[in-house]
Structure 1
Amino acid sequence: MDLSQLSNVELMQLNQLTLDELERRDVIRTRNNPISEYTEWLVADKMQMVLAAPSTKGYDAITIDDRKIQIKSRKNNLKNRSLILGIIRNYDLNQFDELIAVIYNHDFSIRYAISIPHELVKEYGFYNEHQNGYTLRISNLLLNDPRVTDIIEFIDPDTERSKEEITVKPDSNTIRDVQTIGMQTFVEYYQYVERGMNTTDLVEKMVTDHPEWKESTARTKASSMRRVFKNGDNVEALKIIYKSNHPAITDEIKSKLMTLLDK
Structure 2
Amino acid sequence: MNPLSLIFALLTSFCFGQKMSFIYEVNYRLNHQMPDEFTTKTMILDFVDKESIFRESMDRKSDSLKMNNGSPMLSSGFENQFYIKKDLSNHKISKIITNGQFCYLLPIEETINWKISSEKKKIGIYNSQKAVTTYGNREWTAWFSNDIPINDGPYVFSNLPGLIISITDSGGDYKFNLVQIKKSANLFNARVKPLLIDWNKYDQLAKIYYENPNAEIEQKIRNAKKVVMKDAQGNVIDFDIRKMNKDDQENIRKNNNPIELNHRIKYK
Q: TM-score range by the shorter chain?
A: under 0.3
Q: TM-score, normalised by structure 2?
A: 0.23
Q: Higher relative contact order by CA 8 Å / sep ≥ 6: 1 or 2?
A: 2
Q: Name the one with the larger strand percent.
A: 2
